[in-house]
Structure 1
Amino acid sequence: MSGLVARTGRHQQRYEAGCRLIAGCIPFKHRNPDEGSNENSEKVVEVLMINSPSGPGLLFPKGGWENDETVEEAAIREAIEEAGVRGVLMEFLGHYHFKSKTLQDEFSPEGSCKATMFALFVEEELESWPEQSTRIRSWLTIPEAYENCRHPWMREALKDGFSKWHENKISTGEAFPDQD
């Protein structure tokens, strides 16, 4: 597994109308209710966030969508590279526009970015992953994640994309993959 290496450089980056295209995901799992609670209690949803080497607050894994991959493949790759998790993309959550001070370049001088975000059901947490030396993983409840989220657009993806989709799945009784 140690053969995994994070991609670097921007020569493969995709752009659209002056926006750098970003792919990302909100990794999640279900935690069984705490001991002593009613056995009919709903499982608690936890989302995985990572620290940012460039400042305070937590982030969801995301990065540039490259020319040789689909947006889904890019989202899965970023989850492995940045957060060290593998899983199944369950749902497209939406497109989110933001400006990045660190991603300004000749193709996007304003730093405009358009992120395509997905819900990723985590099936495996890797013991080693490409960015483990600079990233710390944190499993948080949705309210905790919302509070600790560094970027407003990620908060929006969590609240308006992920939370609404997840509540709808539960209320309609649709099954999630089994977790061991």
Structure 2
Amino acid sequence: MGLFGLFRRRPHERTGFELYAAAVGAARTPRFYAELGVPDTTAGRYELVCLHVGLLIRRLRAATDKTADALGQAVFDAMFADMDVNLREMGIGDLSVGKRVKMLWEGFHGRATAYAEALDQGDTAALAAALERNIWVKEPAPEGAGTELARHAERVSALLAGQELEALLRGQVHFA
């Protein structure tokens, strides 16, 4: 590999970060917190990032294209590189960060799988239940909030499905 190989960017790294940043921007929409009662906490924000990143990666994997799949992996890598940085900024000790990132990764995988299965089956109720189970852990979801968030996820999923793969490969994505 040589010394210069250490400084070479991975394929799609920059584009992965651009798409991830767009998903984070969508997850920070004030309406989720103000109108739907998503807890405006680190955990609540993480849940909405998981939802939007999961929808984006699902779209990229649906393309059945090696390049799109690699870009999906780059988005995933960007998310967990960001999680690593955030944990360190929050004061989590260096020795604990790896374990926490692994725990977050496992949680993301479970959530993304549950959300994708409900979307694939067109089961709004199952999607709402999964969202409620993950987002409103300490208190019940406000009346209808899980269903409204599930419908949002369905709309975003359809919107992403309609976006050209070439645009996504250039780091251009729209969540609303």
Higher strand share: 1
Q: TM-score, normalising length from structure 2? A: 0.28
Higher helix share: 2
Q: TM-score, normalising length from structure 1? A: 0.28
Q: Per chain length, whose mean CA-contact separation is higher, i.e. which structure has more relative contact order (CA < 8 Å, sep 6+)?
A: 2
